[in-house]
Structure 1
Amino acid sequence: MTELPKKITDDPYGAAILIRRLIMEQGVAYWRRYLLAFGLMGISAATTAGSAYLLGKVINQAYVDKNIRGIAILSGITIVIFMLKGAATYGHTVILSQISNAILANNQRRLFAKLMNESIAFFSERHSSEFLARLTAGANSVTQVLSLLINAVGRDLLSLIALVIVMVTQDPLMSLLGFLVAPPAMIVLRKLVKRIKGLAHNQFTGTADIMETMQESLQGIRTVKAFTLEQTMSDRIDVSISAVEHNANKMAHVTNRSSPLMETLGGFAIAGGLMYGGYRVVAMGATPGEFFSFLTAFLLAYEPAKRLARLNIELNSNLIGARKLLEIVDSPATEPADDDKPALKLTEARIELRDVTFSYRANEPVLNRMSFVAEPGKVTALVGPSGGGKSTVLALLLHFYDVTSGDILIDGQAISKVSRKSLRQQTAYVGQDVYLFRGTIRENIAFGKIGASEAEIEAAAKAACAHEFITGFPLGYDTPVGEHGAQLSGGQRQRIAVARALIKNAPVILLDEATAALDSESEQQVQEAIEHLCQNRTTIVIAHRLHTIMHADAILVVEGGEIVERGRHDDLLRRGGRYASFFRLQHRDAGPLTLAPISATA
């Protein structure tokens, strides 16, 4: 006996606890509007019961008293009753819809705000379609739960109580026949609830799988077309759709399994009422009005009673979605706001990595006690084979991850001790995977500096060698870029991204293969723009095409998470080490190497 309460309280997402939480956290905030809706529901319930009661009076006036005037009066009252019912129904329906919309919007905002406080590692472990499912189905389920509860209490329960009062006043004994339906119905419905929970969970995950395949297929449509994967992706989504269809069919069977029982029991109850009521009128002299009034109340009470009986099934089905939403909202933020930390204050923008070790997975270090200094106002280049840890360095400098050990300092301030916002606001970043947001070219450039003027946007575009191709479009800077910039070529997207970094005018510049997608002519132009951007700014650039960093102030060769060589271009070539090997490999068809004299500052 002691295990059941323990199980209920141990599960923070158990049905009873979850319902109470939704009411207290989200429903109570709208209690005044709920109270008004509840009052209107009471009027609707009263008018429903009143119409059933009046029907008996009309029957008696017509067939017993044969009173035309009485019938006219009751007909007028009936008009008023139904007008009140219509107005009350309209009022509470609109109010509840407005509350549901507000709760839905608030939950969507909460989930999105929570996701904005998650780390890069959090998203790398999940598929984005999961969050889309939680944002839509999960947030909607919360509103459905609250709507079911208020409708069950305000609409169905009040209507049922009012109609039962009419039934009891007309014939108490015959009313007992209706109550005989409840016990067997409750037993069956209780058994169905357990099945519903599992099916609802499968339905949610199956829907997420469909969204995942759809999203990947559309975002990767070029790859799908290039590799003729149309049938493969169709087969993959067909598996998910078939699973959801099968599960939905099972859900339909289980959720509606109560209907035959309820209808059968209701039929017995109505038949019994008809026989008993008819017998009373024929043999015992009861008025036909009482019989019809009771029968009308009983028939009207059938639907709210059936909805109340199914309430547990509906609630448990929707609680799965609410749980999926709250699991994300409740989880500790992996990148919580740290605005309480001091802001990063830059004077020279000197960057230092001091014995930095980092790993994405335990016992698999990506960086191993790496140390180097990026001198202020100079360009430091990271080169080396893929997978050596170069991009990880930039991710750490942006504080996307926390180092395992060691320190990263800017002007002597450990970046772990300052707010991430102040760090990132003073850093301009162009990644190797250019991402453009839905909107126009102008809007995407302006993301680098919110509120930038038209002159600043054009100046940044010109510096990034993008102005010419932008003005070549019919809409110019108002040209939509499409999803992920699909309306632009790779080189055009890259130049828009460079313009976005240029307009930010940050003291620290991080470039990860910023010219990788450009043709030779554009690369040269953008390289000149980047050189202008980097003047008097601390710049760390990753490059695989070594000719783009020949004039860097310092070149660091990164392999296996360690710096194996460092120096300037000519110096590293003279040493004949790893850098020289990479350079010769890239320029093996360019003839013998010509070494420039080492400058005095090298």
Structure 2
Amino acid sequence: MSDPSAAPAAGLGPIIMRLLRDGFREQGRLYGVAIAAMVVVAGSAAAVAWVMEWIIDALGNPENRGAVIAVASTVIAIFVIKGAATYTQSVFMARAGNRIVASYQYRVYSKLVSQGVGYFNRTESSDIIMRVVQGATACRTLIDIIVVSAVRDTLTLVGLIGVMIYQQPTLSLVSLLVGPVALWGIRIILRRVKSIMESQLTAFSEIYRVLQESSGGIHVIKVFSLEDHMRGRMDGAVRRVEDRMNSISRLESATSPIIETLAGFAIAGVILVSAWNVLGGQPSTPGELMSFVTALMMAYEPAKRLSRMRVSIETALVGVRMVLGILDMPESQAEARDARPLKPGRGALEMRGVTFGYGAAPVVRNLDLLFSAGQTSALVGPSGGGKSTILNLAMRLYEPSEGEVLIDGQDLAGATLSSVRQRISFVGQNTFLFSTSVRENIRMARSDATDAEVEAAAQDANAHTFVSELPQGYETMVGENGSFLSGGQRQRLAIARAILKRSDIMLFDEATSALDSHSEALIQEALARVTRDKTTVVIAHRLSTILGADQIIYVEEGRVVERGTLRDLLAADGPFRRLYDRQFGVAEPAPIALAEAAE
């Protein structure tokens, strides 16, 4: 898969216009108030430089106390207005920016969860987290840079230059000669910024990766004494981020000496030209000259910020491209435009000529299967034979490259995804729990379930007893992916969740693998009760768990090798019989008697 961060091939202009269009459409009122405040701030800056003429003239004639009081009152008013406008600008820009971050994070997450499972198999979770967190913040940063620079700094600079030109047109021309030289210096800096930022985000991704692997694999790290190895990885990632951050800081700071030096030459030139009257013309009054010098000195700060603007934009642009790349990414599993909900039925599940592979080589080939409504079917066979893939296709987590998957004769390709998922419950061998309470984990199957229904499902899954003994019972928090519970406890909660959903079709992929023999027997009894009259498909490597199945299907290398009842397959003396003999020894009547008892 191509890197989503590189997806938007548009140049800087279209990306900025897209961000501004989206930002102002969603937060136009907040940005409008902030921009109005920026206009006032810019006008106040020009007014400060302008009023310097009045201040000098008033101080030169202190006997005119009325004029002095008027000038002093004007200065107070200017700074009060500027302070209030600066506060308003900061508050409303922050509110709009925070809303932009939240909006982009939600939109990116919404886009991600609409992708098929294959996308998450191909993309590391650390990379996804970085895109959501760093990218959304970069969008806010870029909008802030554009709005603040384009409005406040530009208007402030224009206002101050206007004061300069009005007071001293000739001296203004001398001071403005440094502008083209500054732009030339900044263009040199920009050439380095892009490459550094791209490698910077790669280094950030490695930090996230190390943190996630340390959290998820802490048992392996401890058992194999990998602490020093992981510290080394983290140290390398952190140092790479530090080095790149220092490089970016140097490049951003490099604009300051350029502007500082050029400003020094400009001010020195103005002093020399003014003192020696090199260019001739009418002599200036002290007030006019002070107003000009004040405007020139105040223009330095907005000019410096504007000179850094392009560097800051390039710094944020890599993260912005990552976000837009995800938002523009086509969904890897999309519903048909005319998709319709599945019609009610008993839940017969069928595959006709299905071929599918995760890569170039197919995992299942021209597969024909029928899981009859209301019956239990067992999938057995060697690992990697395609059993879990069959369940993934049944849940429409993947689309077959050839053939059809049907529920009650309806092709899933033409059905809405939500209606397919409503008909199916699933428990896998890799149990996943959310970082919330026991009750809410079970209730994830059906949000409208009552507390009594949740507890009844836990009882059916043989989970009620141990849940009742937890510190807060059903309100006990289970930790990240159920880290506060044992493997068997997590699996029983997952089974309770599937039971609560009350689906027509129930799929179990080694659902009792983490249970001891006593708990497994109780769960098998519960499953036999709750799956009665439901279409049930069970993957099991321990044949003792599926001896009572209505049909057993032996799958190897993506093909059905044989199928039938337990007695049929034992009599056939094929691969299932050899698997049976390896687990039970020579066929004995006890397992068959167990199967008959289950019936």
TM interval, short-chain normalised: over 0.9
Equivalent residue letter for 1:331: M
1:15 to 12, 15, 30: 12
1:308 paired residue number: 306
- Measured in 2, the distance between the counterparts of 1:566 and 1:593 equals 21
Instruction: Provide closer, same or farther for how the CA distance between residues 278 and 439 of structure 1 changes in structure 2, counting only shifts above 3 A.
Output: farther
Give how far 1:66 is off. Answer: 5.0
SS in 2 for 1:356: strand
SS in 2 for 1:191: helix
Quick check: 2:335–2:414 contact (8 Å CA) kept in 1?
no
1:61 paired residue number: 58
1:583 to 563, 574, 580: 580
1:405 paired residue number: 402
Give how far 1:17 is off. Answer: 1.7
2:529 paired residue number: 532
2:4 paired residue number: none
Quick check: 2:62–2:68 contact (8 Å CA) kept in 1?
no
Tell me whether 565-574 or 74-83 shows the greater mean CA deviation: 565-574
- Measured in 1, the distance between the counterparts of 2:217 and 2:314 equals 37
1:46 paired residue number: 43
1:26 paired residue number: 23
Instruction: Provide closer, same or farther for how the CA distance between residues 375 and 337 of structure 1 changes in structure 2, counting only shifts above 3 A.
Output: closer
SS in 2 for 1:496: helix
1:292 paired residue number: 290
Is 1:488 paired with 2:485? yes
What pairs with 1:33-182 in structure 2 (closer than 5 Å)? 33-64=30-61, 66-182=63-179
Q: Deviations over 1:349-394 (max 9, x none)?
A: 11222222111112x1111222221111110000111101000000
Tell me whether 268-277 or 515-524 shows the greater mean CA deviation: 268-277
2:331 paired residue number: 333
Give how far 1:297 is off. Answer: 1.3
1:446 paired residue number: 443
2:502 to 505, 509, 521: 505
Give how far 1:263 is off. Answer: 1.0
Give how far 1:593 is off. Answer: 5.7
Equivalent residue letter for 1:304: P
SS in 1 for 2:533: coil
Quick check: 1:356–1:405 contact (8 Å CA) kept in 2?
yes
Q: Deviations over 1:315-358 (max 9, x none)?
A: 12212111110011101111224584121123221122222211
Tell me whether 407-416 or 481-490 shows the greater mean CA deviation: 407-416
What pairs with 1:120-269 in structure 2 (closer than 5 Å)? 120-269=117-266
Equivalent residue letter for 1:299: M
Tell me whether 195-204 or 531-540 shows the greater mean CA deviation: 195-204
Instruction: Provide closer, same or farther for how the CA distance between residues 66 and 203 of structure 1 changes in structure 2, counting only shifts above 3 A.
Output: farther
1:4 paired residue number: none
TM-score by length of 1: 0.93
SS in 2 for 1:360: coil
Give how far 1:32 is off. Answer: 4.5
SS in 1 for 2:345: coil
Equivalent residue letter for 1:416: A
Quick check: 1:509–1:537 contact (8 Å CA) kept in 2?
yes
SS in 2 for 1:381: strand
Instruction: Provide closer, same or farther for how the CA distance between residues 594 and 464 of structure 1 changes in structure 2, counting only shifts above 3 A.
Output: closer
Equivalent residue letter for 1:335: Q
CA RMSD of aligned residues (A): 2.3
Instruction: Provide closer, same or farther for how the CA distance between residues 285 and 183 of structure 1 changes in structure 2, counting only shifts above 3 A.
Output: closer
Quick check: 1:338–1:420 contact (8 Å CA) kept in 2?
no
Quick check: 2:175–2:269 contact (8 Å CA) kept in 1?
no
- Measured in 2, the distance between the counterparts of 1:187 and 1:334 equals 45
Give how far 1:115 is off. Answer: 0.8
- Measured in 1, the distance between the counterparts of 2:362 and 2:535 equals 27
Instruction: Provide closer, same or farther for how the CA distance between residues 204 and 13 of structure 1 changes in structure 2, counting only shifts above 3 A.
Output: farther
Instruction: Provide closer, same or farther for how the CA distance between residues 488 and 11 of structure 1 changes in structure 2, counting only shifts above 3 A.
Output: closer
Quick check: 1:108–1:139 contact (8 Å CA) kept in 2?
yes
1:351 paired residue number: 349
- Measured in 2, the distance between the counterparts of 1:32 and 1:370 equals 58
Is 1:557 paired with 2:554? yes
Quick check: 2:255–2:304 contact (8 Å CA) kept in 1?
no
- Measured in 1, the distance between the counterparts of 2:368 and 2:31 equals 62
SS in 2 for 1:365: coil
- Measured in 1, the distance between the counterparts of 2:33 and 2:158 equals 19
2:413 to 378, 393, 416: 416
2:563 to 562, 566, 569: 566
- Counting matched residue pairs gives 590
Equivalent residue letter for 2:552: I
Instruction: Provide closer, same or farther for how the CA distance between residues 226 and 338 of structure 1 changes in structure 2, counting only shifts above 3 A.
Output: farther
TM-score by length of 2: 0.94
Quick check: 1:573–1:595 contact (8 Å CA) kept in 2?
no
2:315 paired residue number: 317
1:7 paired residue number: none
Quick check: 2:38–2:152 contact (8 Å CA) kept in 1?
yes
Give how far 1:591 is off. Answer: 8.9
Give how far 1:497 is off. Answer: 0.1
Give how far 1:536 is off. Answer: 0.5
Give how far 1:65 is off. Answer: 5.3
Quick check: 1:27–1:146 contact (8 Å CA) kept in 2?
no
Give how far 1:64 is off. Answer: 4.8
Instruction: Provide closer, same or farther for how the CA distance between residues 553 and 460 of structure 1 changes in structure 2, counting only shifts above 3 A.
Output: same
SS in 1 for 2:362: strand
- Measured in 2, the distance between the counterparts of 1:27 and 1:193 equals 28
2:374 to 377, 398, 408: 377
1:5 paired residue number: none
Instruction: Provide closer, same or farther for how the CA distance between residues 594 and 501 of structure 1 changes in structure 2, counting only shifts above 3 A.
Output: closer
- Measured in 2, the distance between the counterparts of 1:500 and 1:314 equals 49
Q: Deviations over 1:243-302 (max 9, x none)?
A: 22222222222222222221111111122333444557xx98643222222222111110
Quick check: 1:570–1:595 contact (8 Å CA) kept in 2?
no
Give how far 1:38 is off. Answer: 2.2
Give how far 1:528 is off. Answer: 1.1
